[in-house]
A and B are shown apart, each in its own frame.
Chain A
């Protein structure tokens, strides 16, 4: 069971990184980006194609990640250009359409079968007793923590962070004060696209990695982000890691596999019912 939980930690790290990206997006550019993992998936698959063109693995991965950032920035540009004042619902709906577009495009470009990803980080890092911890696990957990801490510091300590927060809380006022709203929004999109593409590229070799399975990692990741209410980065990280470990532990029991599928959904439902137990209204007045 411990081995299972440890094995789930790599996935948990990915959930945590994506949850942090989702939280940043929801806070800064008012989007729940359903295509967040799909962008990473697209980038990871591109890296495989690039590697097949006899590019070194690291260069292929870097190129894939860059394309991921550009694709993400492109979606961000579309939303910033045409839906600058729209609510989070309408903006997020665009990301549902882009999720559909990216998954279908991957079917066309890469086929629907899982690819043989070359592992970037092969082998175990260390073992404690009979529990083996892989390199991927260590890197993913570290990445999740680093991204969360880094983003927190960036938002609270730097000048650009102040501008970003101004943009998130009062977009129109911020723009009137000379904050370049569109440019910053696109930068946030590209930045989160870059991070999620890198994270997916690292974990993809160790996961069921057909386009659909990868893209729908968005479900546990958004469950984790919900634990932080799409506002708190620390809870998003904790939620992601815990969810991964829980799923890993449950995977040890064959008879519980159906339950494992429902874990993210159940967590989402229970959490939302708790968080919104008091009556709230759609608008302030």
Chain B
């Protein structure tokens, strides 16, 4: 235990240690590099900080932001203005203020982005960049007309010292990004890039998540811009043109600048490529031609430098580990599989130690006298002329497991969508423990204790298992509880990357994560799809225990009759959007209408 704690502490100190080491290297470089390279180095650092910001917006949150240098210009403008009015504190204080000014601009530009995604956002940001570009050309930066240079901090005069200052700022920004990426915000960014529905179902606001990404990205750009004004003294609009913003965006994609080391590499490329071209007497405009071509290559292959290098490194360490573990064949089999289609990560343990001796079937809603947890009356959903659900009534007793059945297109998933809040236009009432849910967003419903899983894969591969579970749990589960739940569902350990987990196991992780949120009601939309027969059976055994162990009520959409028989006590059968039978399991299964609507189809197939 002690050893684990010291390991954890060492893991926490690692980023700090790396940052200190980088500052030391920066100090060494500032002393030994020729003056010209020191100046170029500062330019590279400015680009690195902007790339770190783009890494958040574009790399993590998956939004197309084409105005990064316009945000940098806002930061530079703020710093120049603070300098021209001789504001107290000096550059050390002005830098974060410039960052905040840029973040404010970012949030304003991001506001229309709340409900916009992808390309529309790209159009907005390109419009902002073009307008800001022209405006800056017209109004100029404060101090340029009067020739008031932006004052550098007293401790860091001269280009060499200022380079060291820039390195310190870079180290601080990198630490900020590191901790943000590891925080709930960071998980939210990666989540929203993969699925907005998934984000809202986890009780997290899509709007806030996007705005924080935009704000954080712009803040970093603003700090970069402020740093630049200290470097050059007098700032001119030519440093922040739209075309440079586009180039930076492309470079962020090529390098994979959501990874801190890759943002650093990207910044180096930003100055190295034009510098090399200059050395060889080639027009520096070829630099952006090269970036453009690399961008096309990177986008069409869906890869980036950072991901490629990391994949290479991972394969190497895996190979080494395998050869080391070769004698212990049993252990080697446990190593996570390469994410090839079809390969599976074997569960950490095939037997769950957490299973209690006596497996008790949960209470039946028909038998128990407890009040209804969920009460649905007259629920109807129409899409144009198609009626997906018509006058559906449903009661779920606290602690029950109810199966929702019906042939394809019967309206099962529509039902789950309506309960989870994705179909606000529905008619009828939905109440959770007496509280009406009508008009509440998916996020609000998730926070009230209705959680759901998806039929489609809504598990972002960019997260680790642990980060994913913690994000879904919203602080409801301790680390021990997370590990317990993962073990209970035979899921891989928290440190595993989701990208290396097969789809069937991802569904189990999704269920485990939602259970970690301690929901009152969990809606499971075909959670066993993609599992083998053995896994099916063990999954059913686990589901049965959930109400007693965790006090959660379950609504389960499932086609597998064996599973329905072994897990559910009540059944509701839908056909063409109407309830054709509901009640105790055996009664419903014996209902002739159900036989024709559901079983008939099964026999045919």
Contacts and interface: CB of A to CB of B under 8 A. Distances in A.
A170 interface: no
A90 interface: yes
Nearest to A99: B246
A101 B292 contact: yes
Given A96-B250, A100-B295, A108-B285, A272 B300 contact: no
Interface stretch (A44-52, A63-71, A177-185, A211-219): A211-219
A276 B116 contact: yes
Interface string A82-104: 11000111101110111111111
B293 A101 contact: yes
B114 to A, nearest CB: 9
A279 B115 contact: yes
Interface in A233-285: 257-258, 261-262, 264-265, 268-269, 272-273, 276-277, 279-283, 285
Interface in A1-48: 32, 34
Contacts of B130: 216, 219, 261, 264-265
A79 interface: yes
B139 interface: yes
A274 B377 CA distance: 34
Nearest to B137: A261
Contacts of B123: 32, 219, 222-223, 226, 268
B352 interface: no
Question: Which of B123, B135, B241 is the most central at the interface, judged by chain A CB atoms within 10 Å of its CB?
Answer: B123
Contacts of B185: none
Interface string A126-137: 000000000000
B474 to A, nearest CB: 20
A283 B197 contact: yes
A279 B134 CA distance: 34
Nearest to A278: B115
Interface string B252-270: 0100000000000000000
B115 A93 contact: no
Contact of B112 (A104, A107, A272, A279): A272
A268 B247 CA distance: 23
Contacts of A268: 112, 123-124, 127
A89 B295 contact: no
Contacts of B441: 279
Contacts of B301: 82
A160 interface: no
Contacts of B427: none
B65 to A, nearest CB: 11
B371 interface: no
A100 B292 contact: yes
Contacts of B283: 107-108
A154 interface: no
B138 interface: yes
A125 interface: no
A268 B494 CA distance: 44
Nearest to A273: B112
Contact of B117 (A98, A261, A282): A282
B292 A104 contact: yes
A61 to B, nearest CB: 25
Given A93-B299, A94-B296, A108-B286, A226 B135 contact: no
Contacts of B299: 83, 90, 93-94, 97
Contacts of A276: 115-116, 120
A142 interface: no
Given A264-B131, A269-B124, A282 B196 contact: yes
A105 interface: yes
Interface string A119-149: 0000000000000000000000000000000
Interface in B277-320: 283, 285-289, 291-293, 295-296, 299-302
A232 B7 CA distance: 60
A100 B250 contact: yes
A34 B126 contact: yes
B422 interface: yes
Contacts of B120: 226, 272, 276
A47 to B, nearest CB: 21
Interface string B352-377: 00000000000000000000000000
B138 A97 contact: no
A192 to B, nearest CB: 16
A78 interface: yes
B242 interface: yes
Contacts of A273: 112
Interface string B225-267: 0000000000000000111001101100100000000000000
B401 interface: no
Contacts of A102: 292
Contacts of B242: 212, 216
Contacts of B38: none
Contacts of B250: 96-97, 100
A259 to B, nearest CB: 10
A219 B242 CA distance: 12
B249 A96 contact: yes
B122 interface: yes
B456 interface: yes
B243 A100 contact: yes
Contact of A107 (B124, B246, B285): B285
Given A100-B243, A219-B130, A285 B295 contact: no
A5 B288 CA distance: 37
Nearest to A79: B300
Given A34-B122, A96-B249, A100-B295, A283 B300 contact: no
A13 to B, nearest CB: 20
A-B pairs, top 8 by smallest CB distance, nearest first, are: A101-B292, A97-B295, A89-B118, A104-B288, A82-B300, A265-B127, A261-B134, A100-B292
12 contacts: A83-B299, A88-B119, A93-B122, A96-B122, A98-B292, A99-B246, A212-B243, A261-B134, A265-B130, A272-B120, A273-B112, A285-B413
